[in-house]
């Protein structure tokens, strides 16, 4: 079984929350002081009882004067009301600040996730990120709003209460204090075991969330292949493992709570026998004995809560570790300190001796589960020395067999990945010297696998459009170019909300909306990863005709998986083995490049096969 990473001190780990807690700290301190005041009121009541029993109560029994008794009753009542008011104040002080801290941490995590490169998201399961942003942060909020405050207050209450018990009961207080030593021992054993179980539980929760996410996204595939039962069985195994872990966690907490409760109750029983003997022997007053046990009753509550509060703290520590595992992940594609932006961009795109390979780095979660896994194991180069110049306003088709690196190559233009060596320049500026925001305003991309969001058609199409180009005319233009006017026939037209990932639309409809989104961005460089693959021949011809007109002044690099897509290009670049082997017009390459003829014939055969299947 894989070992856990070296454990960081709990206090040091939780201290990392300070930047998020700082704005809410005054309110949390006010809540803590209110809770502490309520606890001190509870401890003051036994002292009043001691005074009442030894003074006014005995005096009333002797001379019948009950005024002192009523004073004691009113004093106890006042302390009780004050305690209740302070408890209510604690909740009022910490409720809103706690939720604000949770919200700020969640927004910081999401902002960081948006900033991290594609390589990070390729490695981390979505369920693990979801559990960190929801379940872990919810647990942290509960700990900050309750666990942290009550841990401090209860520790103070136990310390002050035991001190009062020693002062009132003498040897009885010392005996009660000695009973705390086994509690310390059990607390140490509990924290060691519970830390491991809580980490395992949270990781299994993330794995289960990932399974649910994948099953929901792939429901059509599961149903089409009749694999619902297998998916259910896999989910059941994970759910049972999580259930077993939760039961183990509950048993550990239950055992600890049982131990400290039994010890404290046993010590109190011994103190009761000893206390009665001391009263009979005249070494202790009745009032002092009553106050001792009333104080013990107040202290016992925090002692019995100790297991729950310690478990909350350890759970919070694990949640902080998991949270900062993501937040500490450095962005390997940062913006330069002094970014450069082309003064008059025209869309001149150059690949100069470009090399690229995908690193295979484990996530922190994977790393502690399997420490023997290498931290970095580079794969074979996908792009191995590409030189290509796409002139301003030119449309260049990128052609190659499957696995030749076409999609990887075009992903280097908007800097979704960084080159391993060499340079990609836009208008003479290395893309790594530009801010990502400026670069992606100049470069727009449409992938073959169209991704849409659960928002309206209008919002999806205008997602990347510049602020000044979001008028109805710009939207109409983008939809016309992409032949996506079908959206006007949807129930609410352009304001129709598309379902998750646009699965309520056909593949061709999703592709056309994705293409419209790329066109609406008004880029200087348009990168298309075979965006017409799901369209029928007639629609493809219409889209191609509009694109020819639209792209007259736009530099375009298009991955071609169909011979018909090549017709869109002014020139064609052939990619084989991660290298550009030839550049020329379609006619020139057909005449003089055997590999190009082979690729085109292969694409034509694949296209004919797809058409035959579609007509059956």
Distance CA 328, CA 326 (A): 5
Tell me what the mean pLDDT of segment 49-76 comes to: 64
Can you read off the two tokens belonging to residue 318?
């694990």
- pLDDT, residue 376, reads 47
Predicted confidence band at 614 (pLDDT cuts at 50, 70, 90)?
A: very low
pLDDT digits (tens, 9 = 90+) for 389-420: 999 988 898 998 888 888 889 999 999 899 99
Other C-beta atoms within 10 Å of 471: how many? Answer: 11
Q: Is the pLDDT of residue 375 over 50?
A: no
Q: Concatenated DSSP letters for 171-210?
A: HHHHHHHHTHHHHHHHHHHHHHHHHHHHHHHHHHHHHHHH
Query: Cα torsion for 78, 81, 82, 84, to the nearest 10°?
Result: 160
Q: Is the pLDDT of residue 267 over 70?
A: yes
Residues in the chain: 616
Query: What are 574's strand-pairing partners?
Result: 399, 582
Which of 105-109, 237-241, 497-501 shows the lowest mean pLDDT across its residues? 497-501
Q: Is the pLDDT of residue 224 over 70?
A: no
30, with CB counted inside 10 A (0-12, 13-18, 19+), is middle
Distances (CA, A) of 441 to 459, 519, 547: 17, 12, 20
More confident site: 349 or 9 = 349
Q: Is the pLDDT of residue 366 over 60?
A: no
Can you read off the two tokens belonging to residue 89?
């104040």
Q: Is the pLDDT of residue 351 over 70?
A: yes
Can you read off the two tokens belonging to residue 610?
């797809």
- pLDDT, residue 468, reads 65
Distances (CA, A) of 11 to 16, 187, 316, 317, 569: 9, 16, 11, 8, 62
Q: Which of 74-83, 182-191, 224-233, 365-374 has the highest mean pLDDT?
A: 74-83
pLDDT digits (tens, 9 = 90+) for 166-215: 887 777 778 777 776 777 677 767 777 777 888 888 888 888 888 887 77
- pLDDT, residue 67, reads 59
Cβ 14 vs Cβ 152: under 8 Å: no
Residues with Cβ < 8 Å from 367, sequence gap 6 or more?
Answer: 5, 373, 375
Is 0.85 topped by the overall pTM? no
Predicted confidence band at 65 (pLDDT cuts at 50, 70, 90)?
A: low
Q: What mean pLDDT is reported for the chain? A: 81
Tell me what the mean pLDDT of segment 444-456 comes to: 82
Predicted confidence band at 66 (pLDDT cuts at 50, 70, 90)?
A: low
Q: Is the pLDDT of residue 374 over 60?
A: no
Q: Is the pLDDT of residue 424 over 90?
A: yes
Which of 45-54, 94-103, 199-208, 514-523 shows the lowest mean pLDDT across its residues? 45-54
Question: Alpha helix (H) ranges present in 521-562?
Answer: 537-550
Distance CA 529, CA 416 (A): 14
Cβ 429 vs Cβ 543: under 8 Å: no
Tell me what the mean pLDDT of segment 230-235 comes to: 82
Can you read off the two tokens belonging to residue 188?
């140490």
Angle at alpha carbon of residue 38, lines to 33 and 41, rounded to 5°: 125
Distances (CA, A) of 308 to 148, 190, 204, 253, 454: 12, 11, 22, 7, 40
Q: Is the dihedral of CA 479, 481, 485, 487 positive or negative?
A: negative
Cα separation of the two ends of the chain:
53
Distance CA 311, CA 305 (A): 10
In percent, how much of the chain has pLDDT > 90? Answer: 14
Tell me what the mean pLDDT of segment 23-36 comes to: 91
Distance CA 211, CA 235 (A): 7
Q: Is the pLDDT of residue 52 over 80?
A: no
More confident site: 20 or 265 = 20
**In the block, which residue shows the tokens 């003829």?**
597
Burial 107-116 (b: 16+ CB within 10 A, else e): eebeeebeeb
- Phi, psi torsion values for 238, nearest 5 degrees: -65, -40
Tell me what the mean pLDDT of segment 476-480 comes to: 87
Other C-beta atoms within 10 Å of 384: how many? Answer: 16
- pLDDT, residue 574, reads 92
pLDDT digits (tens, 9 = 90+) for 106-145: 999 999 998 888 888 888 888 888 888 888 898 899 898 8
More confident site: 545 or 389 = 389
Cβ 456 vs Cβ 504: under 8 Å: no
Angle at alpha carbon of residue 543, lines to 542 and 545, rounded to 5°: 65
Residues with Cβ < 8 Å from 428, sequence gap 6 or more?
Answer: 342, 348
- pLDDT, residue 323, reads 92
pLDDT digits (tens, 9 = 90+) for 274-326: 777 877 777 777 777 777 778 887 887 787 777 778 888 888 888 898 899 99
Which H, E and C letters describe 52-106, residue by residue? HHHHHHHHHHHHCCCHHHHHHHHHHHHHHHHHHHHHHHHHHHHHHHHHHHHHHHH
pLDDT digits (tens, 9 = 90+) for 452-476: 888 888 888 888 777 766 677 778 8
Other C-beta atoms within 10 Å of 432: how many? Answer: 18
């Amino acid at each position: 079984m894989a070992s856990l990473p070296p454990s960081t001190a709990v206090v040091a780990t939780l201290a990392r929350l300070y930047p998020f807690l700082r704005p809410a700290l005054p309110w949390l301190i006010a809540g803590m002081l209110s809770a502490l005041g309520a606890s001190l009121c509870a401890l003051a009541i036994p002292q009043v009882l001691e005074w009442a029993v030894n003074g006014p109560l005995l005096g009333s029994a002797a001379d019948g004067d009950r005024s002192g008794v009523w004073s004691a009753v009113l004093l106890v009542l006042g302390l009780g009301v004050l305690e209740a008011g302070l408890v209510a104040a604690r909740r009022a002080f910490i409720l809103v600040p706690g939720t604000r801290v949770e919200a700020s941490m969640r927004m910081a995590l999401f902002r960081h996730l948006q900033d991290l490169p594609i390589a990070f998201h390729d490695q981390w399961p979505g369920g693990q990120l979801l559990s960190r942003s929801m379940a872990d942060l919810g647990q942290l909020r509960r700990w900050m709003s309750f666990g942290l405050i009550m841990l401090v207050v209860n520790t103070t209450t136990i310390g002050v209460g035991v001190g009062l018990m020693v002062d009132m009961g003498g040897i009885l207080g010392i005996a009660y204090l000695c009973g705390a030593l086994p509690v310390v021992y059990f607390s140490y054993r509990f924290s060691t075991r519970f830390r491991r179980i809580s980490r395992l539980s949270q990781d299994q929760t993330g794995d289960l969330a990932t399974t649910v996410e994948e099953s929901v996204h792939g429901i059509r595939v599961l149903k089409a292949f009749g694999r619902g039962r297998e998916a259910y069985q896999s989910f059941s195994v994970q759910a049972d493992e999580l259930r077993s872990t939760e039961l183990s966690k509950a048993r550990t907490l239950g055992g600890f709570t049982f131990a400290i409760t039994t010890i404290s109750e046993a010590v109190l029983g011994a103190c009761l026998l000893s206390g009665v003997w001391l009263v009979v022997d005249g070494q202790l007053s009745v009032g002092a004995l009553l106050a001792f046990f009333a104080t013990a009753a107040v202290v016992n509550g925090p002692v019995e809560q100790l297991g729950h509060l310690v478990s909350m703290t350890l759970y919070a520590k694990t949640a902080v570790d998991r949270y900062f595992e993501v937040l500490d992940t450095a962005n390997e594609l940062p913006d330069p300190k002094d970014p450069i932006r082309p003064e008059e961009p025209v869309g001149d795109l150059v690949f100069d001796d470009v090399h690229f390979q995908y690193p295979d780095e484990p996530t922190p979660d994977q790393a502690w589960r399997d420490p023997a896994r290498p931290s970095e194991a580079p794969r074979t180069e996908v792009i191995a020395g590409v030189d290509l110049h796409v002139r301003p306003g030119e449309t260049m088709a990128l052609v190659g067999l499957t696995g030749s690196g076409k999609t990887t190559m075009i992903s280097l233009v908007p800097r979704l990945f960084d080159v391993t060596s060499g340079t990609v320049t836009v208008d003479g500026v290395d893309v790594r010297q530009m801010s990502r925001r400026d670069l992606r305003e100049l470069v727009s991309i449409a992938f073959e696998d169209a991704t849409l969001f659960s928002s309206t058609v209008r919002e999806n199409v205008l997602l990347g459009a510049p602020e000044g180009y979001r008028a109805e005319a710009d939207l109409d233009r983008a939809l016309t170019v992409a032949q996506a006017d079908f959206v006007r026939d949807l129930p609410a037209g352009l304001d129709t909300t598309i379902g998750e990932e646009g699965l309520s639309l056909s593949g061709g409809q999703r592709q056309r909306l994705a293409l419209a989104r790329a066109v609406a961005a008004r880029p200087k460089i348009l990168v298309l990863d075979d965006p017409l693959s799901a369209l029928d021949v007639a629609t493809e011809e219409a889209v191609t005709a509009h694109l020819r007109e639209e792209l007259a002044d736009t530099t375009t690099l298009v991955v071609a998986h169909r011979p018909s897509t090549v017709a869109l290009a002014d020139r064609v670049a052939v990619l084989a083995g991660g290298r550009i082997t030839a550049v020329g017009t379609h006619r020139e390459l057909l005449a003089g490049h055997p590999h190009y003829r082979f690729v085109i014939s292969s694409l034509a055969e694949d296209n004919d096969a797809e058409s035959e299947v579609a007509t059956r």
